[in-house]
Structure 1
Amino acid sequence: MQALIFDFDGTILDTESSEFQAWQEVYQRYGVELTLDYWLPFIGNNSMPFDPAGHLEKQVGQPLDKHSLENWVWERKQELNLALQPLPGVLDYLDAAEALGLKMAVASSSRRDWVEGHLARLGLLGHFQVIRTKENVALTKPDPALFLQAAEGLGVHPDQAIVLEDSLNGVRAARSAGAFTVAIPNALTKHLDLSQADLLLACLCDLPLWELLQIARGRGYPQLPTIV
Structure 2
Amino acid sequence: MHALIFDFDGTILDTEKSEFQAWQEVYQAHGAELTLGYWLPFIGNNSIPFDPAGNLEQLVGQPLDKESIERWVDERKRSLNQSLQPLPGVLDYLEAAQAMGLKLAVASSSRRVWVEEHLERLGLLGYFQVIRTKEDVAMTKPDPALFLRAAEGLGVLPQETIVLEDSLNGVRAAKSAGAFTVAIPNALTQHLDLSQADLVLTRLDDLALWDLLRIARQKGGAGLLPVV
Q: Aligned residue for 2:224? A: none
Q: Which residues in structure 2 correspond to 1:109-128 (within 5 Å)?
A: 109-128=109-128
1:71 is the counterpart of 2:71: yes
1:200 is the counterpart of 2:200: yes
1:131-155 Cα shifts (integer Å, max 9, x gaps):
0000000000000000000001001
**Paired residue type of 2:60:** V
1:149 is the counterpart of 2:149: yes
SS of the aligned residue for 1:131 comes to strand
SS of the aligned residue for 1:26 comes to helix
Name stretches of at least 5 consecutive residues in structure 2 with no aligned partner.
Answer: 222-228
Q: Aligned residue for 1:226? A: none
Partners of 1:183 and 1:150 in 2: CA distance: 18
Q: Aligned residue for 1:101? A: 101
SS of the aligned residue for 1:182 comes to strand
Partners of 2:121 and 2:21 in 1: CA distance: 22
Q: Aligned residue for 1:86? A: 86
SS of the aligned residue for 2:57 comes to helix
Partners of 1:220 and 1:49 in 2: CA distance: 37
Partners of 1:215 and 1:156 in 2: CA distance: 20
Q: Aligned residue for 2:164? A: 164
**Paired residue type of 1:158:** P
Q: Aligned residue for 1:33? A: 33
Q: Given the two structures, how large is their TM-score scaled by the length of structure 1?
A: 0.96
Deviation at 1:16, TM superposition (A): 0.3
RMSD: 1.0
Q: Aligned residue for 2:22? A: 22
Q: Aligned residue for 1:54? A: 54
Partners of 1:141 and 1:168 in 2: CA distance: 9
Partners of 1:153 and 1:59 in 2: CA distance: 44
Q: Aligned residue for 1:225? A: none
Identity %: 80
Name stretches of at least 5 consecutive residues in structure 1 with no aligned partner.
Answer: 222-228
1:182 is the counterpart of 2:185: no
**Paired residue type of 1:38:** Y
1:60-84 Cα shifts (integer Å, max 9, x gaps):
0000000110000000000000010
Partners of 2:35 and 2:147 in 1: CA distance: 30
SS of the aligned residue for 1:216 comes to helix
Partners of 1:137 and 1:144 in 2: CA distance: 10
Partners of 1:220 and 1:136 in 2: CA distance: 30
Q: Aligned residue for 1:43? A: 43
Deviation at 1:31, TM superposition (A): 1.1
Q: Aligned residue for 2:226? A: none
**Paired residue type of 1:219:** K
Please identify runs of 4+ aligned residues in structure 1 that moved more than 2 A. Answer: none
Partners of 2:220 and 2:201 in 1: CA distance: 14
Deviation at 1:220, TM superposition (A): 7.1
